[in-house]
Amino acid sequence: MDIKRYLKVGALTSALLLPMVAFAQKDPNLAKTPPMGWNSWNKFQCNLNEQMVREIADAMVATGMRDAGYEYVVMDDCWHGKRDSLGFIQPNPEHFPSGIKALADYVHSKGLKLGIYSCAGNTTCAHQPASRGHEYQDALQYAKWGIDYLKYDWCDTEGLNAQGAYTTMAEAIMAAGRPILFSLCEWGNNKPWEWGPSVGHMWRTTGDIFNCFDCIKEHGTWQAFGVMQILDKQDGLRQYAGPGHWNDPDMLEVGNGMRVNHDRAHFSMWVMLAAPLIAGNDIRNMSQETLEILTNREAIAINQDSFGIQGFRRAKDGDLETWLKPLANGDWALCFLNRGKEPRAVELDWNDFRVTDDLSKLSIDTSKDKYTLRDVWQKKNLGKATKKFKATVPAQDVILLRISKTVKR
């Protein structure tokens, strides 16, 4: 490729390149189910280097996370060095002495994919060089390196139109010619769910999460949210999600200091939301309990269901909530979430359980069809859904069931 000509075209106007990519603003073959992977920010923030990324890739294989479905190893903010004389971004030479291409080759050799981070503004959230005015150059560089996933943030963006900025980068990715999953980290400020499906594969619906079950952390001019606060902000958004375009309630905090019951509830609700499952802990050194949550294949199967329908809250009784998610083959997932600090008893009469999902129009009717129950976390069959279901949901925990259709009565 004639680099100088490419840069000249990109610098003159994106309109000159628009006809080349107008047929699509994103790769339609990616993210058919919610993306799964790992991201460096929640645990390590700017403490990022190539050796750690290699070790994370190794751990993703050794722990069984790759085989459970985790695919992307994503470097968040602070991998950046300076731009070269032509304006192409380079990695920090001290932290990434082998370069990003060599790192991508290593990650690919493990059967995984490499993700990277940039920002629509002049600088990233950690004040590193961002992509404003360099979108086509950066996309070309990512493609050259073998990048598979781009998380694109929204710091230092004064005067920018969000939809326009993200569309420009989407078009740049398409022009670069490599399949790259595009993750829009716009924080939900400009309702990305309304325009994101044609631009990216997933979009943040809120500000940042942090490792707290039910609280808000003040940062002066902005707030970080606990798991329950993030969950509440998903209300009214389920109609925008589906194969190839997902609501993203932010990365997982499983294994980052919350209690095990909090981690289990957190993971379960992201499963029910059909949310991307992007781990954010140190997977090289995690407890067996954390590993078992992150790699519970029955829970993951609910999240990765081919229908791609985001779950919904059917009922609320104080701190006790009942959530449902329609699945392929007539199955349903049912989750009892206890947000409170005391155990709660639940009772469900299977002889009179009828629900129709207003969005998908799918129904469950136990008076007409037979179903069997399975406890996803206990990995235990509970028999037929004929008698009353009675159980106790521990404080700030869940019971997650898979309801499988058998034959008509």
For the annotated catalytic residues, the residue numbers are 153, 208
List the alpha helices (DSSP H) in 22-129: 41-44, 50-62, 65-68, 100-109
Q: Are 79 and 92 in contact (CB under 8 A)?
A: yes
Residue 129's beta-bridge partner residues?
Answer: 123
| Cα Rg, the chain, nearest whole Å | 22
Helix 135-145 to helix 162-176 angle, to the nearest 10 degrees? Answer: 40
Query: 3-class SS at 383?
Result: strand
C-alpha to C-alpha distance for 170 and 185, rounded to whole angstroms: 13
Number of residues written out for the chain = 409
C-alpha to C-alpha distance for 306 and 110, rounded to whole angstroms: 26
Phi then psi for residue 387, to 5 deg, are -85, 175
C-alpha to C-alpha distance for 290 and 282, rounded to whole angstroms: 10
C-alpha to C-alpha distance for 40 and 43, rounded to whole angstroms: 6
Q: Which 3-state string (H, E, C) describes 136-199?
A: HHHHHHHHHHCCCEEEEECCCCCCCCHHHHHHHHHHHHHHHCCCCEEEECCCCCCCHHHHHHHC
* Residue of 321, 324, 320, 323 whose CA lies nearest to 343: 320
Phi then psi for residue 250, to 5 deg, are 90, 170
Look up tokens 């829970």; give the residue: 299
Count CB atoms within 10 A of the CB of residue 220.
Answer: 5
* Residue of 92, 67, 390 whose CA lies nearest to 401: 390
Q: What is the DSSP letter of 123?
A: B
Look up tokens 């190539």; give the residue: 50
Q: Are 201 and 183 in contact (CB under 8 A)?
A: yes
Q: What is the DSSP letter of 127?
A: S
